[in-house]
Amino acid sequence: METPAVVPARPTPGARSGYALLFAGILGVILLLFMYSVAEILLLLFISALWGLYLGAITDFLQRYFRFPRQVGLLVALLLTTVVLAAVGWLMIPPVLNQTDALLNTLPTLLSTWDAGLRTVVARYPVFAGMLPPPGGG
């Protein structure tokens, strides 16, 4: 009687070797380091692509509905965008400046109130005494 021949086991198609995983991990880390080093450039490219799409859409709209030539449509789109941004700045900057001034005027009072509150907590729980500077000292 003959013994059956032993057939070597084939690796399953989905199995990966340890070296392939190590290589993929190292390649992923290198790719992430590269992306980190050129992130500012990629951000500028992304913003410029969005800006181009925005201006192209407005130019196409002006060209289609108002029959402007493409160059005139682009100039009108740039002018319209500049006017809108200036109007938003004109509306937003004065309230922001007023609120910043009010914050700077009330900040010393707020800081002294917070300091008094923290001193009350330290008086109640002396374990926190080492975390605050002495009163009056900065």
Per-residue model confidence (pLDDT) at position 68: 96
pLDDT tens digits, one per residue of 62-90: 999 999 999 999 999 999 999 999 999 99
For residues 117-132, average pLDDT: 88
Task: Give the whole-angstrom CA distance, residue 80 versus residue 39.
Answer: 31
Note the maximum CA span of the chain. Answer: 102
CA angle 31/48/39 to nearest 5° reads 25
Tell me which residue has tokens 């010393």: 108
Asked if 68 contacts 62 with a C-beta cutoff of 8 angstroms, the reply is: yes
Tell me which residue has tokens 């006017």: 83
Per-residue model confidence (pLDDT) at position 135: 78
Confidence bin at 11 (pLDDT 50/70/90): low
Residue spans per domain, the chain: 19-131
Residue 138 has pLDDT above 60, yes or no: no
Which pTM does this prediction carry? 0.58
- The DSSP secondary structure of 11-70, one letter per residue, reads PPTT---HHHHHHHHHHHHHHHHHHHHTHHHHHHHHHHHHHHHHHHHHHHHHHHHH---H
Asked if 77 contacts 58 with a C-beta cutoff of 8 angstroms, the reply is: yes
pLDDT tens digits, one per residue of 86-112: 999 999 999 999 999 999 999 999 999
% of residues, the chain, pLDDT over 90: 71
